Structure 1
Amino acid sequence: MADTSDTRTPAQIEADIRRRRDVLAETLDEIGVRVHPKTIVGDAKAKVVSHVDHTVGRAYVQVNRVVSEVRAQLTDEDGAPRMERVVPVALLAVGVVGLLVVGTRRRRR
């Protein structure tokens, strides 16, 4: 059998009750803050911002990699343009822009 005798004085018991009541009040306040709609919305916003930042960072790295690869294809080791590769790409770009302009003009008529 467990010993149920309590050797604490009434003042010690009251102090223990006050201490436990204070701890319980802090816990309830903390729970209230956690379930408050503003806290929930703030947490959700923080998660979205974090995800967007991560996605944008990954996209930036990918674009940077592609630009570096294209630059490597269009320049030599010294950084000078490789005309045999730049001229066809430039002509292709001019052709695409020309087609877009012609297509836009046809739609307006």
Structure 2
Amino acid sequence: MAEGSRSPAQIEAEIVRRRQQLSATLDELATRVHPQTIMSDVRARTVGAVDQAAGRAFVTANRAVSGVKSQLVGPDGAPRLERILPVALTAIAVVGLLTLGTRRPRRGRRRR
């Protein structure tokens, strides 16, 4: 036999091996395109994106709280009344104005 020629048994073994490879490839493709697999992948990506967004939101909120805290509390931990009092008075004024605004009788309605 020549160097490049193969026996019928070798050819048959090669065919069997290729069929097994093709079968494994088709099984993998069927798994990848199965709706449940696609939904699991989408769910995993969504959970990852939500976790990442929640992490960024937490960091941003934490920075904001730390910034406000540094403005209202001194380095020694004591409250800075010169900054807290104006904020508290403003909040009380806003709540008072909102309360008064909702208690006014509406125009066009008569009380009987």
1:3-42 alignment to 2 at 5 Å?
Answer: 6=5, 8-42=6-40
TM-score by length of 2: 0.79
Look up the match of 1:68. 66
RMSD over aligned Cα, in angstroms? 2.2
Deviation at 1:93, TM superposition (A): 2.3
Against the structure 1 CA distance between its residues 19 and 69, is the aligned structure 2 distance closer, same or farther, given a 3 Å change threshold? same
Against the structure 1 CA distance between its residues 104 and 12, is the aligned structure 2 distance closer, same or farther, given a 3 Å change threshold? farther
Against the structure 1 CA distance between its residues 79 and 28, is the aligned structure 2 distance closer, same or farther, given a 3 Å change threshold? same
Runs of 5+ in structure 2 lacking a partner? 106-112
Look up the match of 1:44. 42
1:54 to 38, 52, 55: 52
Deviation at 1:21, TM superposition (A): 0.3
Question: Secondary structure at 1:79's aligned position in 2?
Answer: coil
Identical-residue share of aligned pairs (%): 57
Look up the match of 1:96. 94
Runs of 5+ in structure 1 lacking a partner? none
CA offsets 1:56-83 (integer angstroms, 9 cap, x no match): 1111111100100100000111010000
Deviation at 1:100, TM superposition (A): 4.3
